[in-house]
Amino acid sequence: MSAAAGAGGTLEIHQFVPILQPWDAVGNHVLEAWRALHRSGFKGAIWAAGIHPQFTGTARPYRRFARSRSRGGGKRLLLYQAASWSCGIVDFLLDRPETKVLSYHNFTPPEYFDPYDAAVSSSLRQAITETRRLAAKVKVALAASEFNAIDLREMGVPSVHVVPPFLPASLSAQPDPRTLAELTAGRTGLQLLFVGRLTPHKGHVQLVRLLAMVRAAIDPGARLFLVGSKGPAIYMHLLARHIDRLTPGAVVLTGPVSDAQLAAYYAQADMFVCLSEHEGFGLPLIEAMRAQVPVIAYDAGAVGETVGGAGVLVRTLEPAVLAEVVARVAEDEQLQAELRQRQTVRAAELEAFPRERALISALWEAASA
């Protein structure tokens, strides 16, 4: 008997996600979950409000689900992947008779966006409200981390399963030779790296302040590489002002990069420094640990949970203190070796988590409830 068939007959799993697009952690999780479910024999599709042209053959407009029919006459389970906005999907799901399951990736607190993008902060508040409405109607939910699971339990969900997101294929990409050569030729000192969209909660301004302190007291040639797509225009202007005033010419904003280019940035980095103030999981932390780049990270959200004691966790954003930590790691080769060894083990633990089995177990529990 396949995993898709149980005592109650066959089970279809249909995923709903607001936007399906490349270079997105939630989108990658949706696609990998869909592949895992199909490998186990489950039927079902991906339904979305916004679909990137790359995925027009993979996902379908969610409102068409109302006209679809079960292929084998079995039970249908609707799995909602909560993201930064719902585009009407939550209301649509609440009107459906099928059993619903909530997969929660957490939301950036809207207060971070209030000074920079009112539309985004409004969308986040709406998404939080809608998620609470849906949580009140589900008996089983999935959380990307224990940090996220706490939110779901506070919302009153009876059964919460912690299942880390599926990891992207980019983890296995080989460094792009041209990017690697350019980074090697351009090296002037320590190379610090952070990967993440340029948004207010990610701590880019704090990273620039840290770099200024490092260049003044430790290594005048140190540089900072910020890999990620642009955020709100006002925030980008503020970040540019800090860079021009504190570290002119020493910060590289790469914009979006390919998997191979990203691998090159990890390969050339001396340290991965994360000063984000809110993370529901933190995929770049795993990428850095897997690439054997020593990690220094602010202990906020699910960061400590993800790192699992393998990297250096800090509980301050004070640039002088952070610069001392950077100096200690840079000067101590034995510490670097210990960090790499522990991080390699931790990355392997996270990769080995039985996501497929845990996901299917939670979905069958929901279907049987």
Domains of the chain by start residue, with CATH: 5-164+353-368 (3.40.50.2000), 170-351 (3.40.50.2000)
Q: How far lies 270's CA from each of 12, 57, 258, in Å?
A: 47, 41, 20
The pLDDT tens digits of the residues spanning 266-294 come to: 999 999 999 999 999 999 999 999 999 99
How high is the mean pLDDT of the chain?
Answer: 94
Q: Output the pLDDT for position 81.
A: 96
- Point out the least confidently predicted range of 82-86, 176-180, 188-192, 315-319: 82-86
Q: Output the pLDDT for position 6.
A: 59
The pLDDT tens digits of the residues spanning 124-178 come to: 999 999 999 999 999 999 999 999 999 999 999 999 999 999 988 777 889 999 9
Using a pLDDT cut of 70, give the percent of the chain over it: 97
Instruction: Give the predicted TM-score (pTM) of the model.
Output: 0.93
Q: Across the strands, what pairs with 142?
A: 103, 161
The pLDDT tens digits of the residues spanning 74-99 come to: 799 999 999 878 889 999 999 999 99
What average pLDDT does range 118-127 have in this prediction? 94
pLDDT at 108 over 60: yes
List, in order, residues 6 or more apart from 124 with CB less than 8 Å away.
84, 85, 107, 108, 109, 110, 113
Residue in 6, 28, 153, 139 with CA at minimum distance from that of residue 81: 28
The pLDDT tens digits of the residues spanning 19-55 come to: 998 878 899 999 999 999 999 999 999 999 999 999 9
Q: Quick one: 352 exposed, middle or buried, by C-beta within 10 A (0-12, 13-18, 19+)? A: exposed
Q: Output the pLDDT for position 73.
A: 67
